Amino acid sequence: MSPIHYVALSVILFVIGGVGVLVRRNAIVVFMCIELMLNACNLAFVAFARMHGNLDGQVIAFFVMVVAAAEVVVGLAILMAIFRARRSASVDDANLLKY
Amino acid sequence: MSHILAATPSGTNTDSIAVETVFWILAFISVGAALAMILVRRAVHCAIMLAVVMLCLATMYAMQGAPFLAFVQIIVYTGAVLMLFLFVVMLIGISSSDSVVETIKGQRAAAGLAAIGLFLILILSIGHAAIGPAARTTAANNVDNLTGLARLIFTTYVFPFEVTGALLITAAVGAMVLAHRERTAPKPTQRDLAARRLVSGQLAPDPAPGVYALHDAADRPALLPDGSTSELSVSQTLAPRDPNEETPPVRPELPAPAVTEAES
Amino acid sequence: MTTLHTVAATGALKLSWLLLAFPLFGAVVLLLGGRRSNRWGHLLGVAMPVAAFVYGLIAFFTLLGTSHRSQDLHLYSWIPVAGFQVNMNLLVDQLSICFVLLITGVGSLIIIYSVGYMSHDPERRRFFGYMNLFLAAMLLLVLGDNYLVLYAGWEGVGLASYLLIGFWQDRNSAAVAAKKAFIANRVGDAGLSVAIMLMFTEFGTVSFTGVFGTVGSAGSGVATALGLLLLLGACGKSAQVPLQSWLLDAMEGPTPVSALIHAATMVTAGVYLLVRSNPILALSPDARLAVALVGTVTLLFGGIIACAKDDIKKSLAGSTMSQIGYMTLGAGLGPAGYVFSIALLLAHGFFKAGLFLGAGSVMHGMNDEVNMRRFGGLARVMPITSVTFGLAYLAIIGIPPFSGFFTKDPIIDADFTEHGTAGNVLGTLALIGAGITAFYMTRMMFMTWYGRRRWEAGAHPHESPPVMTWPMIVLAIGSVGAGAFLIVNDRLQDFLAPVVGVPPESHGFFTAPGLVALAFALAGVALGWAMYGRTPVPSEASRGSLLTVAARKDLYGDAFNESVLMRPGQWLTRLSVYFDNRGVDGLVNTLAAAVGGTSGRVRRLQTGFVRSYALFMFFGAALLVFGLLVVRL
């Protein structure tokens, strides 16, 4: 397939992930949708690497994976700490910045 | 499969029909799984759907001549990160589910609108962008994928590599700090515990359930440690008996003994 | 038309600044000296005007002895700006020396009188300080050689008048009267200052020599405008209609103040201004007619008011208004009338001051009572005062050979002989005015000095001490002889001719209008005797006719001012306040409310929900990509 198909697929997955972030209330599910968005970007990078004919895109995708892993670790630790304090995993409960 | 793995630097413009078919099947599966992910209610189901998407993507990496990345995706991303998600879901509440009702007014409509808008814009831009066909590789990349990647990481991208290492260390330390629970008082030693026990007046621990039981009948209620009975211990279909009642010995009705006149 | 040619001052006249310095020194020492100077304050206060009078006599005789009778003394350069040069110069000429002698002479007599009159007042030192300030300002007014120095003196006398009318600060009526005087004067001052500005724009200079030299080349429109504006200024200071309402209220001040400022000197400053500006008036018949008209209206106005007032000082104030009307009328008749205006002014200084001092003497004896209905039969008890009062009375009503006859009748005569129909009308009214003058003065005489004693219980009138009676005697001598002295043999006429021009040939003293005037005066005396001499005077005022009621209310002068000026002014103020509150404040407040309201609505965007913020970020990202797309396409 020409790389454009992969990029189109990546766009679709990215948008679906974005909608998921906006619509879901469970914090863990929101996190997972963010992971979906990151994966979609990875796919696009790999497709561009194939388009250019060098491996730079793959290296970038590799680093993205590493960073995503670190981010997940810290994010979930924060989630655990919040859950311990508040007994709720809903994203809507953190609304103290309300007007 | 092997030709897929080996299909790399000398990739041509058009793939074989098999690759195309696989692409379309995987595309539909991944889009469907992504949609399912945002629509199902239970968190565990979301995680499963995400795993499906990640596996499809791994396959696609492999089809595009990035075998290393495909395996890293499966091993690290799906195997480690997603499992981490599942652990946290277990800790927080496996049965926790979102309600379907949306609390913020107009959020769903706005989200839909934003999504459609972004989708159109992005599709338009990539349509206009010069995304050419897969390129012929240069002579420098005429090695296999792993060597090429290694060469790039440790020469051109060595500084980001080091920084990423530092990031990982920071993340690990951060996670430990966040999960840590601070002791507010010094850990009581065995001596402290013994002293506490002495002061409270109860030197020995409470007996285990059943130690003071005198009876083990099913209709006799159990005794709580302070001596009172527990109504809950008897099945409601039975009538509980007074626990202090002494049970008369159960004897079968014997016939009256044959008293001989001879004895009297 | 006369022009002013001056030479630099020589000889004794080089010390002319002493005329200002003496009273000014007295004022400064007495006002700054405070209570420490209380014991000797009155002595300094008397010495300074007397010293000024002595120097005035020296200057007068020096002037008589030289052929250059217009001498200009340069003191210093006041405004040395390119294009507008004003010098502080003193002009000692025939006209100003007359005024200097009047001011310092009559002023000294009145100030000597006030030593006795104010002897019981603890603030006497402050009184003498203000009187000296007044004298200094008045002398500056008449001695200035340009309109700006005149204006400085003009404002100074206005200030002194305000301070002296409100001298008894604890009386609310005095404070109100002082304010009223100041404000009415201010309206006139506006006219004078606009005239000075006009002079500057038209002629580039405000000095007398400069203006009178170039006014001929300017159009008659300019001359008329200047004439009318100067008339407005004169109306304010001399209490002519329409700015006459303050003079009767000014009687709240002590009687020496009424005598000096509101009879002899300050109120004559307007006449001085008009006579000094005769080259301007000569070019504009319209302005002259306006001046004559104002004078005629005022002389009737003042006379009618004086007929109905029971307060002796207010009646005399009405009389002053009327007599200055005569002087203004004379100033509007051109060279035919200027000399007689000045002559009447000088004579009026004597007899009106004498009348006021007499009234003060009566008040002093009657425990400050001013209501004539409480007087009566005082001639036996206060003989000297009654005699001086009587001589001044004969002078004012124009009985020959006393002063009024020689000075007032030529003005009436000039009216008839000069100006055609307008002149006849004005002359007839002036004749009626002479009759009215005689009537109210006779009324005053009979109510005060003769008839039944209508005194209050506990009043024991007595003659005043010599320090008060001697000035009255001197003034009575002046009342008797001043008119004849000035007019017979054309003495004043020849003296003032270089300044004001030569009147046409006079027809002697017993002309037809003069005799008719005498007849009217005698008729007025007879009527006064019939109403107040023969029939006993009631102790309480009766209701009176419509005219009497109107005259008691100052011919509704105050009511007119209030309805035409005060109330619209208050409405304008209220409108401005309303506009400021609703309009300007409303605009600002609306702006603030708009900002507040908008922020109140917009802050609802901050819902606190992470997902709303995520939505905004999403939209923002979409916009960014869209922007990139648009740029790249």
pLDDT, tens digit, 9 for 90 and up, residues B118-140? 999 888 888 877 666 666 555 44
Is pLDDT of C219 > 90? no
- Which residue in the block uniquely carries the two structure tokens 């000094």? C276
Is pLDDT of C402 > 90? no
Model confidence at C48, pLDDT cuts 50, 70, 90, reads very high
Q: Does A94 touch chain C (CB under 8 A)?
A: yes
Return the minimum-mean-pLDDT range out of B141-150, C392-401, C600-609: B141-150
Cβ atoms < 10 Å from Cβ of B19: 16
Is pLDDT of B216 > 80? no
More confident position, B50 or C398: B50
pLDDT in tens, C337-366: 888 899 999 999 999 999 999 999 999 988
pLDDT of residue B8: 43
pLDDT of residue B5: 40
What Cα–Cα distance (Å) separates residue C75 from each residue in C15, C39, C78, C86, C144? 10, 35, 9, 11, 11
B117 contacts on C by Cβ (under 8 Å) = 622
Taking a C-beta distance cutoff of 8 angstroms, is the pair B141, A54 a contact?
yes
Q: Does B146 touch chain C (CB under 8 A)?
A: no
Q: Average pLDDT, stretch C528-543?
A: 80
B114 contacts on A by Cβ (under 8 Å) = 18, 22
pLDDT in tens, C482-504: 888 888 777 788 888 888 877 77
Q: Does B48 touch chain A (CB under 8 A)?
A: no
Q: Average pLDDT, stretch C372-381?
A: 86
Model confidence at C83, pLDDT cuts 50, 70, 90, reads confident
Is pLDDT of A97 > 50? yes
Return the minimum-mean-pLDDT range out of B91-95, B185-189, C78-82, C590-594: B91-95
Closest-CA residue of B relative to C622 is B118
pLDDT of residue C494: 81
Buried b (16+ CB within 10 A) or exposed e, B58-72: bbbbbbbbbbbbbeb
How many angstroms separate the CA of residue A77 from the nearest CA in chain B? 5
pLDDT in tens, B8-23: 444 455 567 888 899 9
- The fraction of chain B above a pLDDT of 70, given in percent, is 76
pLDDT of residue A91: 81
pLDDT of residue B129: 75
Return the minimum-mean-pLDDT range out of B46-60, B191-205, C412-426, C550-564: C412-426
Rounded to two decimals, the pTM is: 0.67
C619 contacts on B by Cβ (under 8 Å) = 114
Q: Average pLDDT, stretch C562-578?
A: 90
How many angstroms separate the CA of residue B109 from the nearest CA in chain C? 11
pLDDT of residue C592: 94
pLDDT of residue B9: 43
How many angstroms separate the CA of residue B183 from the nearest CA in chain A? 15
pLDDT in tens, C163-194: 999 999 899 999 999 999 999 999 999 999 99
Q: Does B153 touch chain A (CB under 8 A)?
A: yes
Q: Which two tokens stand for residue C350?
A: 């004597």
How many angstroms separate the CA of residue B221 from the nearest CA in chain C? 53
Q: Average pLDDT, stretch A22-46?
A: 93
Cβ distance A95 to C608 less than 8 Å, yes or no, reads yes
Which of B125, B126, B128 would best serve as a mutation to test chain C binding (most C beta carbons within 10 A)?
A: B125
Closest-CA residue of A relative to C612 is A22
Q: Average pLDDT, stretch C130-155?
A: 94
Q: Average pLDDT, stretch C34-61?
A: 89
Minimum-distance CB partner of B175 among A8, A46, A73: A73
Cβ distance C609 to A92 less than 8 Å, yes or no, reads yes
Minimum-distance CB partner of A51 among B88, B132, B153: B132
| CB pairs B-C closer than 8 Å | 33
- Which residue in the block uniquely carries the two structure tokens 């040619």? C5
pLDDT in tens, B68-85: 999 999 999 999 999 999
More confident position, B42 or C51: C51
C629 contacts on B by Cβ (under 8 Å) = 121, 124-125, 128
Which of C605, C618, C628 would best serve as a mutation to test chain B binding (most B beta carbons within 10 A)?
A: C618
Q: Average pLDDT, stretch C46-67?
A: 90
Model confidence at B98, pLDDT cuts 50, 70, 90, reads low
Look up the ipTM and state it. 0.92
- Residue C74 phi, psi (nearest 5): -90, 120
Which of C513, C475, C236, C502 is CA-nearest to residue C352?
C475
pLDDT of residue B132: 64
Cβ distance C608 to A21 less than 8 Å, yes or no, reads no
Mean pLDDT rounded to a whole number for chain B: 81
> Mind spelling out the 3-state secondary structure of C38-65?
HCCHHHHHHHHHHHHHHHHHHHHHHHHH
Distance CA C345, CA C266 (A): 11
pLDDT of residue A53: 82
- Which residue in the block uniquely carries the two structure tokens 């005794």? B223
Helices (H), C260-376: 269-276, 278-282, 285-308, 312-331, 335-365
Q: Does B117 touch chain C (CB under 8 A)?
A: yes
pLDDT of residue C166: 92
pLDDT of residue C153: 94
Is pLDDT of B62 > 70? yes
pLDDT in tens, C440-462: 999 999 988 888 888 887 778 88
Q: Average pLDDT, stretch C613-633?
A: 88
How many angstroms separate the CA of residue B102 from the nearest CA in chain C? 11
Closest-CA residue of C relative to B112 is C615
How many angstroms separate the CA of residue C618 from the nearest CA in chain A? 8
Model confidence at C2, pLDDT cuts 50, 70, 90, reads low
Q: Average pLDDT, stretch C529-556?
A: 80
Distance CA B225, CA B212 (A): 8
pLDDT of residue C508: 67
pLDDT of residue B118: 92
Q: Which two tokens stand for residue C624?
A: 């960014």
pLDDT of residue B133: 66
Distance CA B7, CA B5 (A): 5
Is pLDDT of B3 > 50? no
Q: Average pLDDT, stretch C258-276?
A: 88
Strands C7-8 and C71-81: parallel
Return the minimum-mean-pLDDT range out of B95-104, B198-207, C63-72, C156-165: B95-104
Q: Does C624 touch chain B (CB under 8 A)?
A: no
Q: Does C457 touch chain B (CB under 8 A)?
A: no
